A and B are shown apart, each in its own frame.
Chain A
Amino acid sequence: MRAFKRIVLGLLAVYAILFIHNNFAFNNPNKDNILSAIADDHSGRRIVLFGKSPCEFGLSAALIEKEVNGHVYNYCHNSFNNDENLFLLLKVLNEDDYVVITRRFEFAERPKLYFLQDIILLPLARFFITDMMRKIFNYHLEDISYDRFGDLQKFTNVTAAKANPYFFNGSIIEDNLRYQFDSIFKNRKIAPKIIWLTAPLLVDENTSLPISTVRHGCAECPQLVAWLPPLQYNDPTLFIDDKIHLNSRGRAVWSETVAATIKDILAR
């Protein structure tokens, strides 16, 4: 029993470290230098890409900067505490700057107990553990290293097998979209302008999701310049998986589209 108690206490100690990291040490150490670079850059308009994995895999600041007038930074964070990083970013930007936020299209009803997922069940633990192991053993460090724009260096060329069918329910999607807007805009003064992207979807060639029917107005979001609904791609060779993560080809294609959109918005 004494040995069992020690095992339990040891596991609880590991859990406690991961819990603190998951909920408090939210800053992505791999991107600290990007945040510093953004804060130190006062040479003109700054355009910052922000989001989770669909953004990190799907957008390239280097490609977008070639097309638009301004310095573009990639501050996307695969797997790190997203909103907290955004609020860190907003502190260093002003009203001339733009933040391009990428979120995924949420088709499923948001679980009422999602706080279990975010706080107690430690969704970030496995990323923390694998990153730490890579650093300790110098193993595939290029998987977590970034260039000066903040773009992921090593990029997979895996391609998806085929599109996944989607269960399209307009009211659930609108509810999730409203929740995404509220989590950023509600009761908060934001200086920079926001361009909102929803990550592209891999859909079967015989499928066309009625995305234009989704209502997306946000009366309490004065800084929201535009919402770009998800593009529907039929080509699985642009994707890593069957859902929303793009590969290197897909990143180039989507970045080009996003660059054209940003250029258009800046020209208005």
Chain B
Amino acid sequence: MLTKLFNSEISARQLITEIILILLGYILLLYISNSFKALLYLFSISVGTYIIAHIITFYNLRLATDIISRLIVPAAFLAIIGLNNAGLINTLTGSISPDGPKGAGFIAMPFYLLSASAYLADVASWKMRDAKPYLSFRELALYVALPFKLLSGPLETPSLSAVPRHHSYTLSDSRLIVGFSYLTVGLFMKCVIGDRLDVRYLLVSVDPILSFICAAVFELKFYFDFAGYSLMVLGAAKLLNIRLTQNFNHPFTARNVVQFWHLWHVSLGGFLQKYVLRRNLSLFDGRESKLIFASSIFLVSAMWHGGTLNYLLWGLFHGIVYYGYITFFKKRDVPALIGFVAMILFFVLGRMLAIDSDIARLLVRLQNMFDPTYYYRNGLFSSVDFSLNFSQFTSNMRAIEMALAFIAIEYYQSRVLNNNNYHIFRRPLSVAILFIIFLIFSVPSGGLLYARI
């Protein structure tokens, strides 16, 4: 009866599960925004996208379809930056600042807008290739509102997260084991390590050494917090047989910057590559201009992370490093030790730019860091208040030790055993140990550092 009512090709059980998932997505949004307006916006985005998709499909507007296919996602990024600068929304990621969301009704809107625009870009692309359009409102609504997607932070592409037809949500033994093992690794990373790392008090310092330590610990915190809850949600989604991108895959074992971006925040990288880079690369002629365009994608990524000047610098930094690596180092043999040190500097300097939205303080910090006379004038440690800062720092030491041990095991697994996907941590004994450690030693904060919802 239900399947007839919704004119669907799927079973009643699957239909009910999907409707429950959509409702869960709306309930989650209502909970975090405490605003019915947010639900209205989400529903409007789904309906509007559905109508535009039908217009694209049924009318032969070739130029408009081509433009939509290429530019709607970049336009959505620009719209988010505009709304952010107009003070209507905070980007979901943002820098470390105590300000909360500016408009509860608009909470999580960047996610929904980008999801909807990606869907329209796909519909336009299918239309261009005369492929069969993908136009079920239920599937669109599920893709936009999928609760796992919102919680984990990734920007899934429609083809990846779309639930396949004839899909089974039944929990099997293998799904239970795989899902639970990812969930446990995520719980350990976030609640045992990530939530213990907190060096916000060091942000006020412009001393080069303290700034370096602060950025390095923040880099660890971002990894363990964001990768932790991404893996938690990935595990929970696997229990229901819903495919999500594995957002992290031992990023600190990367040998170069290109490899790093294939291992860190994979869903955002894949999203930008698919909808901004590949769709528009043909507009540029010549290797050099294509490379400059590819490098400039980091500016789009930066603006997604936060509409502040420090993120612009962050985007420029990553764009220049990417350009420099492809141009000068990709085909050269760089000694392993130099590569290792360069990657650490890359992680830490990038994070230093990202964490401080006080641009004046950030510039003073950078000036001090690259000014050799700073050390001559002040001495190496003279401006460091060790008695204050390091007494506080010791409270993070246990977590830092655990984080470094975790990364060392990742390094061994990836480089020596040639395994990935946190395999060594997902073995039966490891899962039992990590879960018991989580139960006894977790300090859950309840906050998600990256997706500030």
Contacts and interface: CB of A to CB of B under 8 A. Distances in A.
The answer to whether A binds B is yes
B418 interface: no
Interface stretch (A162-170, A195-203, A224-232): A162-170
B448 A113 contact: yes
A108 B439 CA distance: 25
A15 B439 CA distance: 8
B44 interface: no
Interface stretch (A41-49, A55-63, A118-126, A150-158): A118-126
B98 A117 contact: no
Contacts of B204: 165
Interface string A101-132: 00000001101111111100111011001100
B395 A242 contact: yes
A161 B391 contact: yes
Interface in B434-453: 435-436, 439-442, 444-448, 453
B428 A7 contact: yes
A204 to B, nearest CB: 8
Given A112-B32, A169-B98, A242 B446 contact: no
A122 B191 CA distance: 11
Contacts of B32: 112-113
Contact of B444 (A108, A121, A165): A121
A117 B439 contact: no
Nearest to A107: B98
Contact of B439 (A18, A109, A167, A172): A18
B107 to A, nearest CB: 8
Interface stretch (B76-84, B173-181, B253-261, B303-311): B173-181
Interface string B409-453: 000000000000000000010011001100111101111100001
Contact of A125 (B181, B439, B448): B439
Contacts of A14: 439
A109 to B, nearest CB: 5
A5 B176 contact: yes
A117 B200 contact: no
A11 B432 contact: yes
Main SS at interface, chain A: helix
Contacts, number: 92
A123 B174 contact: no
Contacts of B446: 111, 113-118, 121
Classify chain A: how many residues form its interface, as a range. 35 or more
A113 to B, nearest CB: 5
B173 A121 contact: no
B110 to A, nearest CB: 15
A137 interface: no
A113 B200 contact: no
A155 to B, nearest CB: 22
B378 interface: no
B176 A8 contact: yes
Contacts of A11: 180, 184, 431-432, 435-436
B100 A109 contact: yes
Contact of A7 (B98, B387, B432, B453): B432
B392 interface: yes
B98 A125 contact: no
Contacts of A116: 444, 446
A1 interface: yes
B440 A8 contact: no
A12 B177 CA distance: 11
Interface in A32-87: none
Contacts of A172: 98, 100
B174 A1 contact: yes
A126 B439 contact: yes
B453 A113 contact: yes
Given A5-B177, A112-B453, 16 more contacts: A5-B173, A8-B177, A8-B180, A8-B181, A11-B184, A109-B100, A116-B446, A121-B191, A126-B440, A129-B439, A162-B388, A164-B201, A164-B392, A165-B204, A169-B98, A172-B100
20 contacts: A1-B173, A1-B177, A7-B431, A7-B432, A8-B177, A12-B180, A109-B98, A112-B453, A114-B447, A116-B446, A122-B439, A123-B444, A126-B440, A126-B442, A161-B394, A164-B392, A167-B98, A169-B98, A204-B388, A242-B395
Interface of A: 1, 3-5, 7-8, 11-12, 14-15, 18, 108-109, 111-118, 121-123, 125-126, 129-130, 161-162, 164-165, 167, 169, 172, 204, 242
